[in-house]
Amino acid sequence: MAQIATNLELARNELIAGNLIGFPTETVYGLAGNALSDAAVLKIFQTKNRPAFDPLIVHTHSIEEIRRYVLSIPDALAELIANFAPGPLTVLLLKNEQIPDIVTSGLDRVAFRIPNHPVALELLASLPFPLAAPSANPFGYVSPTTPQHVNQQLGDKINYILDGGACGVGLESTILGIEHNHLVIYRLGGVSVEDLQAYAGKEILVKDHSTSNPAAPGMLSSHYAPKKKLLPDYLLEHSEGNLEQVGYIGFDKIRADIPKKNQLLLSPSGDTNEAAKNLFATLRIIEEMSPSVFYVGIIPNVGLGRAINDRLTRAISPV
């Protein structure tokens, strides 16, 4: 198992030695390594069992730092970064030669983000390189939102997990880029579409990349699959079976037709931000519960609810 602690010096030493660490951010925990080192980035792909075609997000602590590694930042994106960073927003920018091709899986654009987490920012500011960090889970599995989640799945492959507590946002960052002068969201995430549109003052296209050639391969339709069978709760309307053995994940209200002990709510107070924060931990908790099938309720499709529904849809078994 890896050591979980708050010592920044230990984290720095691991990274400078070319090793990977568990890295706290406000969205989910990352598996971080030196983004400028081919060897460290290769280790990230190997440790996660991640296909080489799925590029990594690079993390740094300021927009000035981002400028060192990209050809330019279009004004529209610079304004959004100025407003939403540090925060759960990732932008796609044309990379310069300092970013190794392995980071972007050979694509021209590199994904950059400034995490809004004091420990992450302090670490990044103290390092002579930015950090490449995908979510710290084996490929295709639920993202970790506590240091213990990282240890459960990758603890035998890394030495150190920097403890930043439980993630405040709980969903991965929103990925944004520009195509033909239009802002495009490639992954729904921790900044809501409404907030981005309100600030940009115009409609932003949300691309569904669950096709065979995704620009953000994390959008593959079977991503985030937990080991239990998840089904949409509308199927319950037609079910005449015995519901004693099934479970339910709801938004704010439990159901009368399923045993109370088999039900979990994402936000009893009906708050989509709270639901986002609880989502991935809930998908882990159900693995320890007795039902083998869980029905999933619809979350209001507003604010972070939209990104939650996106993740749940990908986690739900094909029906």
Residues that bind ligand TXA (CB under 6 A): 25, 27-28, 30, 54-57, 88, 90, 92, 104, 107, 109-111, 113, 133-135, 172-173, 175, 186-187, 215-218
| Residue corresponding to tokens 């989640």 | 149
Q: Considering only 8-16, 86-94, 127-135, 265-273, which stretch makes contact with Mg ion by CB under 5 A? A: 127-135
The residue (of 48 and 249) whose beta carbon lies closer to ligand TXA is 48
The residue (of 187 and 262) whose beta carbon lies closer to ligand TXA is 187
Q: Are 190 and 174 in contact (CB under 8 A)?
A: yes
Q: Amino acid identity of 63?
A: I
The residue (of 135 and 263) whose beta carbon lies closer to Mg ion is 135
Contact with Mg ion (CB under 5 A): which of 3, 135, 174, 262?
A: 135
The residue sitting closest to Mg ion, measured at its beta carbon, is 135
H/E stretch holding 307: helix 305-315
The residue (of 150 and 296) whose beta carbon lies closer to ligand TXA is 150
CA atoms of 112 and 296, how far apart (whole Å) = 33
Based on its alpha-carbon atoms, the radius of gyration of the chain, rounded to whole angstroms, reads 20
* Min dist. Cβ of residue 269 to ligand TXA (A): 24
The residue (of 81 and 258) whose beta carbon lies closer to ligand TXA is 81
List residues bridging with 185 in a β-sheet: 176, 206
CA atoms of 281 and 249, how far apart (whole Å) = 12
Q: Are 173 and 90 in contact (CB under 8 A)?
A: yes
User: Could you tell which of Mg ion, ligand TXA, none binds residue 57, using a CB distance below 5 to 8 A set by kind?
Assistant: ligand TXA
- Phi and psi (nearest 5°) for 125? -70, -20
* Min dist. Cβ of residue 252 to ligand TXA (A): 25
First to last CA, the chain: 38
Q: Where are any strands of DSSP class E within the chain?
A: 3-5, 21-23, 30-34, 57-59, 89-94, 109-113, 131-132, 160-162, 174-179, 182-187, 205-206, 229-232, 247-250, 263-265, 293-296
User: Could you tell which of Mg ion, ligand TXA, none binds residue 56, using a CB distance below 5 to 8 A set by kind?
Assistant: ligand TXA
The residue (of 90 and 135) whose beta carbon lies closer to Mg ion is 135
* Min dist. Cβ of residue 304 to ligand TXA (A): 13
* Min dist. Cβ of residue 125 to ligand TXA (A): 17
CA atoms of 93 and 108, how far apart (whole Å) = 8
Q: Considering only 35-43, 120-128, 132-140, 250-258, which stretch makes contact with Mg ion by CB under 5 A? A: 132-140
Q: Amino acid identity of 285?
A: I
Q: Considering only 59-67, 87-95, 135-143, 294-302, which stretch makes contact with Mg ion by CB under 5 A? A: 135-143
* Min dist. Cβ of residue 284 to ligand TXA (A): 16
Residues lying near Mg ion in the complex (CB under 5 A) are found at 135
